[in-house]
Every structure is written in C-alpha cells, then in structure tokens.
Amino acid sequence: MAVDDILPDPETPERDPNTADMFGGAVAPLTPTPLDVTARPPSAEDGAAYTVLARKYRPRTFDDLYGQDAMVRTLKNAFGSGRIAHAFMLTGVRGVGKTTTARLLARALNFETETQHAPTLDLSTDGRHCRAIIEGRHMDVLELDAASRTGVEAMRELLDGVRYAPVEARYKVYIIDEVHMLSSGAFNALLKTLEEPPPHAKFIFATTEIRKVPVTILSRCQRFDLRRVEPDVIVKNLDMICEAEGVKVEAEGLILIARAAEGSVRDAQSMLDQALVQGEPGQTVSAALIRDMLGLADRGQTITLFEQVLRGEAGAAIDTFRQLYNYGAEPGQLLLDLMEHAHGASVAKAIGPQALTLPKDQAGRLAAIGAAISAGTLSRIWQMLLRAHEEVARAPDPAAAGDMVLIRLAYAADLPGPEEALKRLQSGEAPAPGLTPAPSGGPGVSMSGQGGGSAARMAAPQTLTAQSLAPQAPPVLQSFNDVLALIEQRRDIALRLDVERFVRPVSFRPGAIEFEPAPGAPANLAQRLVSRLKEWTGQPWLIAAQGGGGAESLWERQKREEGETRDEVGTDPFVRAVMAAFPGTEIIQIRNLPVPDLAPLDETTGTDDD
C-alpha cells in the first residue's frame, strides 16, 4: 500500500461547515462578539502582590537608618581603621532595625566592586554581592532563626561548615536572629568557635531579650544597643513616605502614629499603611480617623478629664469619661492617658513645659496643673492610676471599673497628703474637714478602767468634729490678687490659667471687676468668673469686659519681668566677659539662690576676761 493511499487528500476539507455536527446537531450561526471598550489587557501589576510600606521602605544604606547615629558612627570608625570585630550583638526593642542592620553589615563586610576591594560602609551603589545578599540567596551569607534551630545538634551542624572558606565572597557571614532562644547546649557549642573563629567567618546576632543571652557570649561580641527612635524622627520618616506615595495625612495624625509606635519605626510604618486605607482615595487622612483607628481619645479632652478629677468633680469626670468611651476609647487606654498627664505635669513642674513633646496649648495646660498641684499629690495620683489600670484590666466590666476609679480619684483629690495631715494633727486641726467620724461611745463617755489621760484622748476627736462641723465664713475679697488666690485655693486650674493669661485688670471693688480681655481670651471667661465667684463668696458679682485701658495680665507681667531680669543680667560686666570668652553662649535660665543667714560674730568670742 502506498503512502498516498493512507494520507488524506489535502484538497478535501475535513468537514462541511454547513452540515450537521458530528453528533447530529445543527450548527449554530456565527454571531460576532461585541467589543468591550472598557476591558484592558492584564498587566503585570494586576497580579503582583502588594508590598507593605515596612518592606518597601526598608533602609538600603546605613545613612537610611533612623535614630541610630551613634552605632553608625562607631561602625564607620571601625571599618575606616580596619578594626572590625568578628562578632556583633545587636539588641533593642522591636522595629528599631536590628535585622536590617545585620543585613547591611553583611553587605558591608562583603562589599566589592571594580575599584573597591575592602569592607566599607558606603553602600550608595550595589556591589558584586549586594543583590544576592538582599534577596537572601547568597551562599556565603546564612540568615538563621534561632527560634526554629534551638538544639545543640542544629548548632553543631551549623558550625561544621564554619571551617570551610567562603565560595565567592570575602567573609562567611552567619546572621542569627532572636539568638536568646538558643538552648544552653547550643550556646555552649557556640562558645569555642565564637572565641577563636577562623579569619573568614563573621557572626552577627540580633535579640530583643539581651538579659537571656549568657554573659560568656556577650563578652565575645561587640555589642550595639539600638535606641528607640524619637517621635519627631519617626514623623519625618512617615512624612517622607507620604510624599513618596503621593498621599496626604494630617500632621497631627502622624504625631499620633509616632506616639503609638513607642520608638519602633516598623510599627509606625505598619500603622501608616493601615491609616492610608481609612479615608477616601485622593482625600487627606484626618487625625480623627487615625485616632479612631488606634482607639485613642482626643488629648485635649483627656486633659480636661484630668483637670476635673483633680478638682474633685466626680460627676463631670464620669460624664466626660462616658463620652470618650462612647466614641470608642478603651477604658484602659484612657487611664494610660491620665497616667501620661500626671507624668507630664510632674516633668513640667520639675523642668518646665519645654520638656514636653506636645503642642503649646496642651503643654501649657499640663504646666499649669504642675504649678497648682504639689509633687506629692501628683505622685500619689500616679500610683493610684497605676493600680487602677491593673484593676480595669481584670474587671469583667471595664467601663464600670473606670467609673469607680474616677470616683476614687476625685475623692482622693480633696484629701490632704500625709505630710499635710500630720501638720494639721500637730496643730490641733482636723486632718480632713468634715470627714472625721464621731467616737462610738458618744460625747463625754470614757471607757471603764481608763484614767483621765485616756478620757482626754477620747475627747480630742469630739472637739475636732465640732470644729469641722462649724460653718465657715465666706471669703472676703479686697483686691484682684485675692481673687487669684481664691481661684488657686479652690483648685480650678482651667479658670486660673485663663484669668492669669487673658485678664488685664482695669478696676476692682468688692462685687465688681472690670477688665480688658487679652487677645485670644475665651468668649465665656467673664461668665465663668461670675459663676465661680458667686458660688465661692455667696454674693453676686458684676464683671464687665472693656475694650482697652487695662493693666498687664499676670502672665504678661511675669514675661516682662523675666525679660528685664535677663537684660539686666546680660549687661553685667562679668556675664558679658563670660559670654565673650565662650562664643555662642546663651542665657537659658536665671535663678535666685538663697543667701545663707550668717549669725553675727560675737565680739567677746575668743577674748580673755583677765
């Protein structure tokens, strides 16, 4: 049989398209498919996975490391002089750049180009091995996780390859992350090699629990403590990312993220990644959205809550607390905010408001609280809040526990401190007016078998109770300074701050005050002052705000006197000589040191009567 008999005739079609199909059905007519003008060919970006900001903006050079200037400076000097250690220990909290620094060190140790043949920290250009190290596929750079290789056998298997020379790079680099999770046997197996490693091997360890690493390991490493990154540095990093991504976030929102990150750049970048999807595309992400995302309350409102607690206003404090709770703030977080305010007021009292990394108005309010409240009271409030935070965390109903905490704090705000109570007892006054209970035996009753001394001791509390129950005369105000003293005595911090800052007295007489409001004065300042003075003195007051002619406010007078004192000190010849000897010197603070009271010498001392 010929081949042509087997093969079909190429001119004969396989099937007539006008006939029925092979299964006996009719052929469907061909209809053109409409063109979808909205469809577009799939691009490579459609199938690519999204890269989070923390990975996308991971530092590629040592200059990109934020907040670690001290470590970078030390490493540059070591690499420049050739004094490179054989083992490095990197420690710090999460997200400060330990693993990133380890990878940068591996690149720096093995950096090599056509012109560079020695280790260097200048990684502005990619070297021969940089791309493979960055992608984690270089055979001479081994990155291990100690959490999955904790045993001694895994460590021995690792160390068996240390004695062999590197294949391509200059050094064989071992990066061991979370090294504190190694077992005791693994640490012991590592000791000998770490003490006398071959010249071609380098070890880089990273850990968040430096105390769990044996001292025998630490003594064989060059240790670098990576610091927490300051909030202002984190804000700069987030602002750079927003500009690169073409998105807009309010400056206050970036500050909230930086504070919530607690010094971790990675945490801040992750929170920014989450914040960018809170708003509508193309719109500015507001601070309110970020506050809701983080579960935070408005700082101004929490400061108001803190002021209400310190004034003993339990009802107002509970109302503010419930409003913040309904907005989504967690009770535990609100107590942490109150603890932060207690800390801020104490720091402002000791150093000044410039030590607070807060907006000027909020720092001023906390500074006013610190000026009005004693350090002992602030310390006591801090301790109570610290214990209350643990109680709220354990309580079945955190909101109810938060209410009880505020009631307790408001009650304690009216109580004197231990020192003040002791002074009152020594002077014969009641330690807490109106709170001393009557003796159970009744007035004039003494216990049987006790002498007069015991009876006298029993009678003392009754006398104190009578004094505490006696009505107190309303205060009499004879000058504007008496008004300021009364506001301070009643501990109305917000009113005191506004009066000192915005009230320029024009005239004063009992029952009437005229003043000129300073720029920025609250619109309801006169109404608040009328209400408070009527409540405290029991008589009506007429307070009017005029357009001009007022004297300086207390705050303006203090600023003027400080400026005059600074100018007077600056013109002193000795001070001018010191400032001339040290160029760039500035007068930061002026303090009046107390002059010791020296008793006059007795003229007869040391004389001889003979």
Whether the Cβ atoms of residue 342 and residue 302 lie closer than 8 Å to each other: no
Average pLDDT over residues 486-497: 83
Residue pLDDT, tens place only, 213-254: 999 999 999 999 988 888 888 999 999 999 888 888 888 888
pLDDT computed for residue 289 by the predictor: 84
Q: Which residue has the higher pLDDT, 596 or 531?
A: 531
Q: Closest by alpha carbon to 329, among 288, 365, 366, 361?
A: 288
The pTM is what? 0.53
> Does residue 448 have a pLDDT over 80?
no
Tokens of 528: 């608040």
CB neighbourhood size of 152 (10 A): 16
pLDDT-based confidence at residue 279 (cuts at 50, 70, 90): confident
pLDDT computed for residue 465 by the predictor: 41
Helix (H, G, I), strand (E, B) or coil at 277: coil
Using CA atoms, how far residue 359 sits from 255, 290, 363, 364, 371, in Å, is 10, 18, 6, 9, 18
pLDDT-based confidence at residue 18 (cuts at 50, 70, 90): low
pLDDT computed for residue 599 by the predictor: 55
210-219, 419-428, 540-549, 561-570: least confidently modelled range: 419-428
pLDDT computed for residue 49 by the predictor: 73
The pLDDT > 90 percentage for the chain reads: 7
Whether the Cβ atoms of residue 143 and residue 133 lie closer than 8 Å to each other: no
Q: Which residue has the higher pLDDT, 28 or 409?
A: 409
pLDDT computed for residue 173 by the predictor: 92
pLDDT-based confidence at residue 89 (cuts at 50, 70, 90): very high
Residue pLDDT, tens place only, 111-138: 988 888 888 888 888 888 888 888 888 8
Report the run of H or E that residue 144 belongs to, with start and end.
Answer: strand 141-145
Residue pLDDT, tens place only, 359-379: 677 788 888 888 888 888 888
CA dihedral 102, 105, 106, 109 (to 10 degrees): -160
pLDDT computed for residue 416 by the predictor: 64
Q: Let me know how long the chain is.
A: 610
> Does residue 391 have a pLDDT over 80?
yes
Tokens of 204: 């880089």
Q: CA angle, 417 as apex, 411 and 422 as ends, to 5°? A: 130
Residue with tokens 């913040």: 324
Q: How far apart are CA 482 and CA 236, in angstroms?
A: 48
> Does residue 46 have a pLDDT over 70?
no
Delineate the domains of the chain, giving CATH numbers in brackets: 53-225 (3.40.50.300), 231-294 (1.10.8.60), 308-413 (1.20.272.10), 480-555 (3.30.300.180)
> Does residue 278 have a pLDDT over 50?
yes
pLDDT-based confidence at residue 422 (cuts at 50, 70, 90): low
N-to-C CA span, the chain: 165
Q: Closest by alpha carbon to 190, among 160, 159, 215?
A: 159
Average pLDDT over residues 192-221: 90
pLDDT computed for residue 423 by the predictor: 66
